[in-house]
Amino acid sequence: MKSIKNVVVVGGGTAGWLAAASLARHLDPLKHHEYSVTLVESPDTPIIGVGEGTWPTMRNTLRNLGIDEFEFIRECDASFKQGTRFVNWHTCGKDETDGVGGRDASYFHSFELPRGMWPIPPGPYWHHMQKELGLSYAEAISPQPAACMHHLAPKGLDTPQYETVLNYAYHLDAGKFATFLRKHACEKLGVTHLLAHVNSVEVSESGFIKSIITKQGDQISGDLFIDCTGFASLLLDKTYHIPFRGVSDTLLVNKAIAMQVPYADEEAPINSPTLSTAQTAGWIWDIGLQSRRGTGYVYSDNHTSPDHAEATLRAYNKQALNSQGGGSVTIDVDQIEARQIDLRLGYREKVFHKNCVGMGLSAAFLEPLEASAIFLIEASCNMLTELFPQRREQLATLEKKYNAVFTERWHRVVDFIKLHYYLSRRTDSDFWLDNTNENSLPDSLKQQLDFWKHYPPTRFDMPSALEPFVRESYEFILYGMEYHADYAWSSGQLPHLHDARENFERIRKLSAEITDVLPSNRALINKILKMR
């Protein structure tokens, strides 16, 4: 019957500070003094710091934490993200170092879903009218790709905080974001922050964590512990030895190399989508922040060497800078530090055990494609705060529910990421040939693809309200990757053909007029920066 009053978050970074802030917002220790939220982080453990992409869910997360959107943008070097543009994924372009790519070599996974602009699901109608329209799926159903191509913001200069014209998330500096969350959590939400290295963990005879012992000999007791210690996983792995289930037989990348590249011109356009450009052994991310671009090559060292990967990333950045034209600053790409990162892809068989919950990299990492990492931290925080246990006797049933939900989420994320690789028609390297080998395909995704050969994605394919990726997201990938399905439409299956044609034309006009409606990303961010 022990009450759960004192929460201890072990580890900082995005995961730790989102967890601490969310729990403090829910428990409100400033008002209810019987509760406490304490975050303990090592002063000498650097964060990974390359998780710079978020989902639109982040707007609600920040708003619910009581954070001013404009302050967040100013303090975190943040910019607006409107989706992902995939370059050279389904076919190999002429020049893989080209960060822009041609129309025929790229497609969009936009954040603006058709629900807001379409009274009917447009997928079947676009597929039926594809040749007539002469537009990719994303371009046909929304003006957001046109906004992205013109480096436009997703809202106007006078649009209220967190409100939209086009759906959006953020690109951000992960290190600055953790610092910003720490300040907000401690000063506004009552989180106690301790800098200390955890030396050992005290566990009771019944298997519950009683306290953590610091290197300085301090004992920090708690009722519920959140493991946010990254790949080290001090609680789930080192203390409880929860097995790690790898997914390297499905997702083949296992390394990344990251570089931060300044703009040559301080007024350079800021990209709205994350650019994801396929390479012979993986793909390069390119994220536009206010003051720099965050870039990185995610690759398989079974298909290329670290030295060649670094050379590939440097060549990409040189080409990207050349395509921007001259600027006031000369950038020597060869002098920019490149950081190698080992990627261990998979998830814990349990992320909730006894009175310990793992979040972030201590729980799972399923590769950076589609930027699911921060979303899954948000989802973890949301579930734990909504079902926060008041007594220890509740933990066993909550543990079962929590683990079942997140095990299913890991599986669905793996399926969705694999979809991008498996549908590729690239044959220029062993990496892509291995990715399109049916032996690397999860049975669950194979069953879906077999169904989608004859039917478009339907609401029956994603029955859970907790799906990480909605049906429309699958449509963006399937249609963007030109998945060839055999749809035998009857007139009864397309009863709104006239209405669809009118709506496609309306979207075409909106796309042509979008530059008159929205400011550029740079213009809107500059206005926000002046509001200090």
Q: Is 328 exposed, middle or buried (0-12, 13-18, 19+ CB in 10 A)?
A: exposed
User: How high is the pLDDT of residue 102?
Assistant: 42
Reported confidence tier of residue 50, pLDDT bands at 50, 70, 90: low
List pLDDT tens digits, range 15-29: 999 999 999 999 999
**CA triplet 389, 398, 366: central angle to 5 degrees?**
115
Which residues fall within 8 angstroms of residue 48, CB to CB, at 6 or more apart? 13, 174, 230, 341, 361
Pairing of strands 255-262, 244-246: unpaired
Which letter, b or e, does each residue of 508-522 get, where b requires 16 or more Cβ atoms within 10 Å of its Cβ?
bebbeebeeebbbbb
Alpha carbon distance 413, 255 (integer Å): 19
Helix (H) or strand (E) holding 19: helix 13-27
Helix, coil or strand: residue 58: helix
- What is the 8-class DSSP label of residue 371? -
394 located within any domain: yes
Residue 463 forms part of a structural domain: no
Identity of the amino acid at 328: S
Q: Where does 49-150 have alpha helices with state H? A: 57-64, 69-75, 123-133, 137-141, 144-149
Is the Cβ–Cβ distance between 283 and 424 less than 8 Å?
A: no
Residues 365 and 254: their CA atoms lie apart, in Å, by 11
Structural domain of residue 42, as residue ranges?
6-76+172-246+345-412
Question: Distance (Å, rounded) from C-alpha 21 to C-alpha 64?
Answer: 10
> What is this structure's pTM?
0.94
Domain contains 150:
no
Q: Residue 84: inside a domain, yes or no?
A: no
* pLDDT attached to residue 296: 96
Average pLDDT over residues 402-408: 96
Instruction: Determine, yes or no, domain membership for 223.
Output: yes
pLDDT tens digits, 271-301: 999 999 999 999 999 999 999 999 999 999 9
Q: Is residue 90 part of a domain?
A: no
- Percent helix, strand, coil in the chain (nearest 5)? 40, 20, 40
pLDDT at 97: 40
Using the predicted structure, report yes or no on whether residue 101 has a pLDDT greater than 70.
no
Q: What's phi and psi for 301, nearest 5 deg? A: -80, 0
- Average pLDDT value for the chain: 93
Total Cβ atoms within 10 A of residue 127: 17
- 68 DSSP β-pair partners: none
- Give percent above pLDDT 70 in the chain: 95
502 occurs within a structural domain = no
Identify the CA nearest to 520 among candidates 256, 183, 269, 198: 269
- Supply the DSSP symbol for 143: S
Query: Can you give the pLDDT at residue 48?
Result: 64
pLDDT at 100: 37
The alpha carbon of residue 472 and the mean position of all alpha carbons in its chain are separated, in whole angstroms, by 17
DSSP code at position 281? T
237 pLDDT higher than 90: yes
pLDDT in the model for residue 96: 43
Lowest mean pLDDT among 149-158, 202-211, 218-227, 480-489: 480-489
Whose tokens are 């790519």? That residue is 101
pLDDT attached to residue 458: 85
From the CB of residue 319, how many other CB atoms can be counted at a distance below 10 Å? 17
Comparing 362-376, 436-450, 455-469, the range with the smallest average pLDDT is 455-469
Radius of gyration of the chain (CA): 23
- Rounded distance between C-alpha atoms, residue 17 and residue 176, angstroms: 12
What pLDDT is stored for residue 49 in this prediction?
58
What confidence score (pLDDT) does residue 519 get?
Answer: 97
Q: Which of 22-26, 252-256, 492-496, 508-512 has the lowest mean pLDDT?
A: 492-496
Number of domains into which the chain is organized: 1
Average pLDDT over residues 415-420: 97
Catalytic choice (81, 255, 350, 418): 81
CA distances 438 to 298, 411, 412, Å, are 22, 17, 18
User: Where do the DSSP E strands lie in 359-423?
Assistant: 364-365
SS3 243: coil
| CATH code where residue 220 lies | 3.50.50.60
Catalytic site includes residue 81: yes
**Using CA atoms, how far apart are residues 108 and 139, in angstroms rounded to an integer?**
8
The band of 88, judged by pLDDT with boundaries at 50, 70 and 90, is very high
